[in-house]
Structure 1
Amino acid sequence: MNLSRPLLAAAAALLTLSLAACGSSKATAPGGATAEVTVRIPDPGNSGVLALGKKDGSLDRALAAVHAKVAWTGSAGPFAPAAQELNAGQLDFALGSITSAVTALATKPSFKLFAATDPDPVGEGILVKDGSPITSIQDLVGKKVAVNQGGTGEYLLLQALAKNGIAADQVQRVYLRPDQSAPVFSSGQVDAWATWSSYAVAALADSGAHFLATGPALGSDNYSVWAVRTVFADQHPDITKALYQYLHDGDVRAKADPAAFLNVFTDAGPLAVNGRSKQISVDFGRQNGVLSPIDDTVAARFDKVAAFYAAQKITKSQVDVRPDLLDITKLPGGSR
């Protein structure tokens, strides 16, 4: 049966409107009001920009301006499980490292990277115990080093070995989750531990440890990165832009006054940092970078990580990260 021209025109107009809606955060609730969009983010715990935003309501206000609200889903931690949750449609945003992101991007991802912070200048590296006979990277030959597989720890160790002309198989990598590594390191079951500030602070403060080498000495390109579920960014670009701006502005404040972003909910118990740990955290915080868009210079350093992973056989081939980068500066922003 043939449709008349008026009916065809009406159908085309309806299709156009439907497609346009896919690129906007607007949703209509019963009665014609704009519905709120729920944004799923890992719970930030007791410290950081999102923790303070959760407590003082500033994040709620920032998201309300773009008709969104937050739902805290799970908890912040290593990026590998968060990437799986992004791919499964269980999270909308997550924080990680470019090292972990490269391994996650090796399979067809359902997320894009939209912002990055410069590699940590002081808080990542290879830890050894005070008094250890290991005083140089060369001394790691024949030793056991705890690392998280495919992430920051393994990257830092392999980078250290490559920089010093040591074959990777001359050092035994002990694959552990970061939360498993601390007791193994403290008990002396491994000789060293390659990790980052989230876990290094306690070891530096309480375990009588020090950095054998930090990221800059190893030539680290290990940026911190924020990821967004691709479908979410496509449907809600203004919310994605608003969250980026909130995180960026929060980083500026946290760098100026790190102590204000510690012990947000409690200053006691296992989630709190006090004493030496607090001093180290404040010192690290002052030296941290600020979240920024991913420009071509940063993308080139991502490419270096991907090339290094391929050379070290962490990935089967070099992962092309460029198709999975989102230019946050080109997204629409502001309230509707």
Structure 2
Amino acid sequence: MNIPRTPREAKAAATALLTATALLVLAACGGSGTGGGPGARGTVEVRIPDPGNSGVLALGKKDGSLDTALAKVGARVRWTGSAGPFAPAAQAMNAGQLDIATGSITSGITSLAQRPGFKFFTAVDPDAAGEGILVKKDSGITSVKDLVGRRVAVNQGGTGEYLLLKALARAKIPADRVERVYLRPDRTAAVFNAGQVDAWAVWATYAVAEIGGGTARFVADGAAIGSDNYSLNAVRTGFAERHPEIVRALYRYLHDASAEEKSDPAAYLNVFTDAGPTAVTGKAKEVQTRFTRAGGTVDPIGPEDIERFQDVAAFYAEQKVTRDRIDVTPHLLDIEKLT
């Protein structure tokens, strides 16, 4: 090792060292642009939860069409974790560990109360057919009023709690006349089927299997409840600021693919396997197909959507689900103006 002997030599050596360090940092960070693992040179990795066995993203993963669409704007997907409730996905985006996630406006509002590091950039109209309050066919519960004095499973601060409270308010039943049992959605089916709760406020992801099994029905669906529970796609704020062209490309893909899914739902079911716990079969497949045909498509967030988002925020504050009324507007992106 040659030790610099003069101030000029020392300065030159220090400059060379700083330059080399900077180059190493750029080399380490340049692959993904998202804080994720390294990708091909110049390619930005978009971290998205693994979509499972059905839906637009599942088919896009299998046939490579999503990566093909993103390659046009210098990006590709890195599937990470698994799709599930929005709350943990929101935390992952806040921590810089995830770039894209899907959730509902209801779970989104509760997540917005905690210094969010994400924004919503698409909306799908509320699912009038696929969400609601499930009861057993032989339960004797024929209306929302029959829930008084009973136990109803809900996911706290999310779609389930919203649907139950909205149904009770519409029927003019005080919320405290029904016991809310807070459970994770992926752990509720066994409790519901064991009769440990009398009803389950839930959405299509979990309702399809119960209705398809022939033992459960909606005592009130989204239409009867008057639900404003939009499905939304969220993007990490820092990612959207650095890569607006990727967010626009992702929107276009989701919009077009959701329209195709609506016209041909069967093509988006059982993408990787038609057997096992993730497969939708028998009557459940018919139920899912019907729900998808009746559902909406992925669209930009418009003024009429924002008004309904704010109604949900006001309702949550009124019902004391949130401490204060959350202003949703600062956390929305206009995909058509994103630059």
Distance between the aligned counterparts of 1:117 and 1:147, measured in 2?
A: 22
1:217 to 224, 248, 251: 224
Q: Output the CA distance in 1 between the equivalents of 2:288 and 2:173.
A: 32
1:169 aligned partner, one-letter code: D
For 1:304-323, what per-residue CA distance to the aligned partner results, in whole angstroms no more than 9, with x for missing partners? 00000000000001000000
Structure 2 length as normaliser, TM-score? 0.88
- Post-superposition CA distance 1:114-162 (Å, at most 9, x none): 0000000200000000111211111111000000000000000000111
SS at 1:330 equivalent? coil
1:98 aligned onto 2:121: no
1:157 partnered with 2:151: no
Deviation per CA, 1:252-302: give whole Å up to 9, x if none.
100000000000000011111111111111111111100100111100000
* Ranges in structure 1 where 5+ consecutive residues have no aligned partner: 1-24, 28-32
1:277 alignment counterpart: 284
Mapped contact 2:254–2:298 kept (Cα < 8 A): yes
- Give the equivalent residue in structure 2 for 1:134: 141
The aligned counterpart of 1:170 is: 177
2:118 maps to 1:111: yes
SS at the partner of 2:266?
helix
Residue 304 of structure 2 is matched in structure 1 by: 297
Tell me which residue corresponds to 2:63.
56
Equivalent of 1:328, from 315, 319, 335? 335
Q: Distance in 1 between matches of 2:45 and 2:235?
A: 14
Other-structure match for 2:4: none
Indicate the percent of aligned positions where both proteins have the same amino acid. Answer: 64
**1:331 Cα deviation (Å)?**
2.0
Cα separation, 2, equivalents of 1:279 and 1:221: 25
Give the total of aligned pairs: 303
Shift of residue 26, structure 1, vs aligned partner? 8.8
SS where residue 94 of structure 1 aligns?
strand
Q: Please show how residues 66-77 of structure 1 align to structure 2 within 5 Å.
A: 66-77=73-84
RCO comparison, higher one (Cα < 8 Å, 6+): 1
Per-residue CA distance 1:155-178 (angstroms, 9 max, x = gap): 000001111111111100000000
Aligned residue in 1 for 2:52: 45
Instruction: Give 1:56 shift.
Output: 0.5
Number of the residue aligned with 1:184: 191
Q: Which has the larger radius of gyration?
A: 2
Q: Which residue matches 1:200?
A: 207
RMSD between aligned alpha carbons?
1.4
SS in 1 for 2:188: helix
Deviation at 1:207, TM superposition (A): 5.6
